[in-house]
Structures are given as C-alpha cells and as structure tokens.
Chain A
Amino acid sequence: MTKEKLARMIDHTALKIETSRADIEKLCEEARRYHFISVAINPVNVALAAKLLKGTDVKVDAGIGFFLGAYPIDFKVFEVKDVIEKGAEELDMVMNVAAFKSGNYDLVRREMEAFAEAAGDKVTKVILETAFLTDEEKIKACEIAKEAGVKFVKTSTGFGPSGATIHDVKLMRKTVGPDVGVKASGGIRTTEDALAMIEAGANRLGTSSGVKIIKGLEES
C-alpha cells in the first residue's frame, strides 16, 4: 500500500454541525495536497468546495437525506439533482432505515432505484447505518442496493451509535461481490483502522482523520 493509493481511497470528511467555511477551506486544501479522492460534506457546502477544487483531482461528495434518512423519495431525488447542479460528483444517500426496519423493502428498493437513476453517471453510495441492522438485514439491504444499480454500499453516517466494523465490511463485501464498492465509515481514526478495513474488503473509506492516516503510512 502506498500513500498515493491509500489517499485515493479516502473521502476526506467534514460533516459535523460545527463545520464553518474556514473548516471547508482547510478540508479542500488538505484534499488537494494529499490527493484524497473526494471531500465528503453537507450539501450546504458543496458550491464552495466545488469552486475551491475546480481543476484538481478531488471530487465533491455530498450527503443525501443526511443523516436521518427518513425522507420521501421525491425529496431525495430533488436533493440529488440540486447538489449535482452545485458541483457534487459523488452522492452518499442515507437509506430510509425507518421504512427498512418496518419491512417495507419495496419502498427501499424504489428509493435506491430512483437514487441511481437521478444520479446518472455520478458515483452513488447508499448508507445502511449498520448499527441499526441485524446481519440478515445488512445482507438484504446490500442485495437491494446491488440490484438497484447503486455503485457502493456504505456502513455508517458517523452519527449513529457505532461505525464500521471488520465483521460488517466482510459481510458486505461477501454479499455484493467484487463489482460493487464497499465504503467503510464511522470510527476510522488511525492508519491501522484504515488498513484493517481495506483488508476486510473496503475499497473506500470515509474519515475525518485522513491526514493522520496518510502520515501514519508514510512513517511505517
């Protein structure tokens, strides 16, 4: 693993409520320097980030339905188109966990299909919020996502009770096979965490500790 390869697997993240314009500027500056594949941010900051990252190899990745996920499909479709217009090239949509836990798999399927369609050629990731799901539910959600044409399944919003685990990443990778992306997010803080997730089958990481993670690899 090289630092270049690792950086291109990291969505450099700043989603907290305390995030200011200065934080976004710093995030983008770090992303440019380390060549992270994207900055993962809330929609309200997409236009600024897109401007700051114009002409670079860093994409803008926006949260959709973030983070409660309990929104009607039409709203999520609206949000997708809105952020794409503002410069987002990757979209991390929170699954309607409420509907899923209610057993309404048909609605979740339609939501994921609508998401994939609205996003066009942009990279789509669906956040399952694994902390709320049984293993059977994680498998089911992954299967629905794969059938719907979503490009990545992702573990966590980062705002739930817990984040990515090796167990969950392995399970998700086993379920979706080699052709769908697996993004591990939530609680990834060190180089060791990052490498462990990749070992387990993740090909993308969501973390706000990207700089520390890359530096840890350089030194090892």
Chain B
Amino acid sequence: MTKEELARMMDASFIKMDVTETQLREFIDKCKKYPFAAIAVDLFYIPLTFKLLKGTGIPIVAPISYPLGGMTTEAKVCQAQYALENGASEMDMSINFSAFWSGDYEVVREDIEAVVKVAQDKVVKAVIYVTEMTDEEKVKIARIAKEAGAKFISTCCGFGCVAKTHDVKVIKDALGDEMKVMVAGGVHTTEQALAMIEIGVDRIHSSTPFDILEGIESP
C-alpha cells in the first residue's frame, strides 16, 4: 500500500478546545500534501478550513455534538445546518448516548435521522463508544444508524476508547456492505492502520495522521 492509498482512507483530525488559528493553518498546510479522505476540524474553524482547502477537493468533516453527544436533537440539527452552509460535506455525530444507555432506541434513531435529513446526500457517520458496548449493542446501534440513514459507524469518540479489530468484525459480519466502519481511537501506528484495513475497515480517523503515513516507505 502506498502513502497516497493509505491517506485516501484516512480522516485527518484536529478537534480540540484550544486550537489556535496559527495551529490550524499549519495543520491544513501539512494535510494538503496528502489526498486524505477528509479533514475534521472544530465547527468554529469550518469556514476558515473551507477557504484554505479551496481547489483541493478534500472534504471537510464537521463534528456534531462531539464528543459527548449530549446536545439536543435541535442543537445537532443547528450545527449540521451551519456545517453545510459553511462548506462541510461530512458529519461525525455523536449519538444520544444517554438515550442509548437507557434503552431508548427510538430516541437514538430519531436523533440520527434528524441530522441525516439536514445532511441530505452528504455522509453522516454515527459516532459510538465501542469499549462501553457489548457486541449485541454494537450490532444494535449499527442497525439503528443504518435505518436512520447514516453511512458509517465510527467506533470511538475519545475518553480512552480504543477500537479493536474484533469491534470492526462484529459490525461488518452483521451488516456487511450495508454499513461502513471508521475506526477512531487506538490507531497510532502504520501497523495498526494496516491491520484494520486488512479486516475490512472503510476509514481510519486519526489525530496523528502524519505519524501513520510516515511509516510507509516512499517508493
């Protein structure tokens, strides 16, 4: 696999509370060297990122109620609208975890549906928390997300959540081609990334994308 092929499967992410404009510009400059699948930045920085990426064709991912998923559906819809209006073409939305842990699956589905509706043809990824979920729950949320129109499940939203190849397999075995899987969390090295791709992962979300790419020998 070449650097470019691997980059095409990666979301390069820089989502933190204290990113300065200078740091963001540096990050985008570095990103432009690779054909990343997408670049994820704080909602606040989407307009600037869109400007900086003009002409590159690289999609921008908007985090929606990320990472806690604790905002109301109306607020998630508001963020989604802002994201679209300002140039994002993918959305990573944290699910309503509170409803999920409570078994309120209808509420979880409606929450995702509302964002999918705003997104129209743009990709919505439902962000979950695999280390806190049983295999049954992983399959359950993947099915709910599929019914709601999300195109991806993203395995983690931080908090030490680390995706294992098993997590990817469980979802892929249950839903096959009907749901794409993005691993987020615990993929820091080239080897880890390649291992995930080997078992069928569709996207890799990383806040250290350049470290992962450096491990691939240039031809």
Residues of B within 8 A of A78 (CB): 74-75, 78
User: Is B42 at the interface (CB under 8 A from chain A)?
Assistant: yes
User: Is B79 at the interface (CB under 8 A from chain A)?
Assistant: yes
B70 x A70 contact (CB < 8 A): no
A43 x B68 contact (CB < 8 A): no
Complex CA distance for A102 and B19, rounded to whole angstroms? 8
* Interface size counted on chain A using CB atoms at 8 A: 40
**Interface size for chain B: under 10, 10 to 19, 20 to 34, or 35 or more residues?**
35 or more
Knowing A75-B82, A98-B18, A132-B17, the reply to whether A19 touches B75 (Cβ < 8 A) is: no
User: Is B116 at the interface (CB under 8 A from chain A)?
Assistant: no
User: Is A42 at the interface (CB under 8 A from chain B)?
Assistant: yes
B68 CB contact (under 8 Å) in A22, A42, A71, A132 = A42
User: Is B98 at the interface (CB under 8 A from chain A)?
Assistant: yes
A82 x B70 contact (CB < 8 A): no
User: Is B67 at the interface (CB under 8 A from chain A)?
Assistant: yes
Stretch at the interface among B32-40, B52-60, B99-107, B198-206: B99-107
Nearest-neighbour CB distance to chain B for A103, whole angstroms, equals: 8
Complex CA distance for A69 and B43, rounded to whole angstroms? 9
B17 CB contact (under 8 Å) in A15, A98, A104 = A98
Residues of A within 8 A of B99 (CB): 21, 44
B44 x A96 contact (CB < 8 A): yes
Knowing A17-B129, A72-B82, the reply to whether A43 touches B44 (Cβ < 8 A) is: no
A70 x B98 contact (CB < 8 A): no
Knowing A20-B101, A70-B42, A79-B75, the reply to whether A42 touches B70 (Cβ < 8 A) is: yes
Residues of B within 8 A of A (CB): 15-22, 42-45, 63, 66-72, 74-75, 78-79, 82, 96-99, 101-102, 104, 129, 132, 157, 159
A17 x B75 contact (CB < 8 A): no
B98 x A19 contact (CB < 8 A): yes
A132 CB contact (under 8 Å) in B18, B21, B72, B96 = B18
Knowing A42-B71, A98-B18, A102-B20, the reply to whether A68 touches B98 (Cβ < 8 A) is: no
A22 x B102 contact (CB < 8 A): yes
B70 x A43 contact (CB < 8 A): yes
A21 CB contact (under 8 Å) in B20, B72, B102 = B102
Which residues A167-205 have CB closer than 8 A to chain B?
A: none
Complex CA distance for A19 and B69, rounded to whole angstroms? 11
A18 x B101 contact (CB < 8 A): yes
